[in-house]
């Protein structure tokens, strides 16, 4: 039995290691990725401020995979022929019995004019380093700042984290009084996060905004970004000498170029609650590649749900378990809808943090709580160290 995994960060690496661990010698696993490096994406928010460098939050995954018996192929997956069970890469064709798509996102920079040209983005190593350089230039001649998310965005949490880190950085640079700091979001209310909020979350974030003197606009999209201003869909124009926006995610080219995958318009894989493709029994998806149906209706400006590291890791494990069950001839598969996965998140707030816990990502929930820690972002740092240690050693079975 041979499984090919496309993509090798949270979901892909977990799936590959778990399939090999459970399948042992009877199961061949090949992971295809353009990069041999694993990147702990949540810590990219610290790179612009020099609190982390890229080498601090990345390491070679190819050696870890090979040590655990997974073949690593450094290649770009171009498309898949699901009828022939064949993945075409820039290094040749690879055949499979099962295929796991864990490709992560493509960033839709063209969501509004000027976003690509004038707004910074912290979700990639290159983007985070460019943001660091831009902030160093900014402090020489400070002015107003706009931070937020565009229409259709889903990763509001990281933008909130960056906002509070910028506010702290401005105080450390002794230029806070020279800056009007703006938060703009398509959310219907502060702290919606694409999960319909957490009890007490809106009140907490409103108090944060008041305490840190941050101006905010909810239910707005981006009409256009200019070098020195941001035009909102509400008609308001904000001056901005530095802009950071979180654009929407869409499916990667590998998915959209593979017509046989029957992907959604946004380029995501339609799956059932066992993360098996709705129409193709030997194709599975994990992480951001999964099509997630939202249980709520956004307000007048559309936005999306979050696809974070914890659900990606969990779906990678579920896919691995179900592939092994299928290979062993079992028909009963493990099921857990994306919205039923527990919500476990630590939102950094500039050497402070908010711990967000819930028994499920989407409502209805049995419990949900936001716990502020105004002393130090200990939990965020601890989680980073734990996950890096776990992944470096290939301990994919750990939570």
Distances in Å between the Cα of 212 and the Cα atoms of 2, 352, 356, 365 are 54, 13, 21, 31
Structure tokens at 88: 């075409």
d(CA 384, CA 119): 27
Q: Is the pLDDT of residue 185 over 90?
A: yes
Q: Is 389 left (phi over 0), alpha (psi -120 to 50) or beta?
A: alpha
pLDDT digits (tens, 9 = 90+) for 25-76: 999 999 999 999 999 999 999 999 999 999 999 999 999 999 999 999 999 9
**pLDDT value of residue 373:** 85
Backbone angles phi, psi at 245, to 5 degrees: -130, 145
Q: Is the pLDDT of residue 78 over 90?
A: yes
Mean pLDDT on 362-384 = 89
d(CA 201, CA 33): 38
d(CA 30, CA 14): 13
pTM, full prediction: 0.95
Q: What is the CATH number of domain 109-248?
A: 3.50.50.60
| Beta pairing, strands 28-33 & 2-6 | parallel
Q: Is the pLDDT of residue 246 over 90?
A: yes
Q: Is the pLDDT of residue 177 over 90?
A: yes
**pLDDT value of residue 294:** 87
Q: Is the pLDDT of residue 352 over 90?
A: no
Q: Is the pLDDT of residue 176 over 90?
A: yes
Residues 130, 224 contacting (CB under 8 angstroms): no
Superfamily of domain 2-106+249-335: FAD/NAD(P)-binding domain (3.50.50.60)
DSSP state of 196: T
Are the folds of 2-106+249-335 and 109-248 the same? yes
**pLDDT value of residue 213:** 97
CA atoms within a 13 Å half-sphere pointing along the CA-CB vector of 56: 13
- pLDDT bin (cut points 50, 70, 90) of residue 144 is very high
pLDDT digits (tens, 9 = 90+) for 98-115: 999 999 899 999 999 999
Q: Where are the domains positioned within the chain?
A: 2-106+249-335, 109-248
**pLDDT value of residue 309:** 81
Residues 277, 285 contacting (CB under 8 angstroms): yes
Distances in Å between the Cα of 392 and the Cα atoms of 39, 62, 179, 356, 363 are 11, 11, 41, 26, 34
- pLDDT bin (cut points 50, 70, 90) of residue 259 is very high
Residues 43, 52 contacting (CB under 8 angstroms): yes
**pLDDT value of residue 155:** 87
Of the listed ranges 68-82, 220-234, 351-365, the one predicted with least confidence: 351-365
Mean predicted lDDT score pLDDT of the chain? 95
SS (H, E, C) 140-177: CCCCCEEEEECCCCCCHHHHHHHHHHHHHHHHHCCCHH
**pLDDT value of residue 298:** 81
Calculate what percentage of the chain has a pLDDT beyond 70.
100
Those residues whose C-beta lies under 8 Å from the C-beta of residue 50, and which sit 6 or more positions away, are 132
Calculate what percentage of the chain has a pLDDT beyond 90.
89
Mean pLDDT on 272-301 = 94
Residues 373, 381 contacting (CB under 8 angstroms): no
């Amino acid at each position: 039995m041979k499984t090919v995994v496309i993509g090798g960060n949270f979901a892909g690496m977990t799936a590959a290691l778990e399939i090999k661990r459970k399948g042992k010698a009877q199961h061949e696993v090949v992971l295809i990725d353009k990069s041999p490096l694993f990147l702990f994406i949540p810590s990219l928010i610290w790179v612009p401020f020099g609190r982390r460098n890229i080498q601090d939050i990345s390491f070679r995954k190819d050696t870890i995979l090979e040590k655990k018996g997974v073949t690593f192929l450094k290649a770009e997956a171009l498309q898949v022929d699901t009828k022939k069970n064949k993945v075409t890469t820039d290094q040749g064709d690879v055949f499979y019995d099962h295929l796991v798509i864990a490709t992560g996102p493509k960033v839709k920079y063209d969501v509004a004019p000027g976003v690509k040209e004038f707004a910074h983005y912290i979700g990639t190593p290159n983007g985070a380093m460019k943001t660091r350089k831009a902030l160093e230039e900014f402090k020489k001649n400070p002015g107003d700042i706009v931070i937020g998310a565009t229409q259709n965005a889903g990763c509001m949490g990281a933008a909130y984290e960056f906002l509070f880190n910028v506010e702290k950085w401005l105080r450390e640079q002794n230029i806070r009084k020279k800056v009007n700091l703006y938060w703009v979001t398509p959310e219907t209310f502060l702290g919606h996060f694409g999960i319909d909020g957490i009890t007490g979350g809106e009140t907490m974030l409103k108090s944060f905004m008041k305490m840190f003197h941050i101006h905010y606009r909810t239910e707005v999209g981006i009409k256009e970004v200019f070098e020195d201003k941001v035009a909102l869909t509400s008609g308001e124009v904000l001056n901005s000498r530095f802009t950071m926006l979180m654009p929407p995610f869409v499916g990667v080219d590998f998915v959209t170029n593979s017509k046989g995958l029957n992907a959604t318009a946004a380029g995501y894989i339609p799956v059932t609650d066992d993360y098996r493709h709705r129409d193709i029994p030997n194709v599975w998806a994990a992480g951001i590649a999964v099509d997630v149906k939202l249980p709520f209706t956004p307000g007048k400006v559309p936005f999306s749900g979050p696809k974070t590291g914890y659900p990606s890791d969990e779906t990678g494990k579920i896919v691995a378990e179900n592939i092994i069950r299928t290979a062993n001839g079992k028909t009963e598969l493990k099921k857990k809808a994306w919205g039923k996965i527990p919500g476990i998140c630590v939102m950094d707030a500039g050497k402070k943090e908010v711990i967000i816990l819930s028994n499920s990502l989407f409502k209805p929930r049995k419990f949900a709580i936001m716990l502020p820690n105004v002393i130090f972002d200990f939990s965020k740092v601890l989680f980073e160290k734990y996950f890096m240690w776990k992944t470096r050693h290939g301990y994919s079975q750990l939570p």
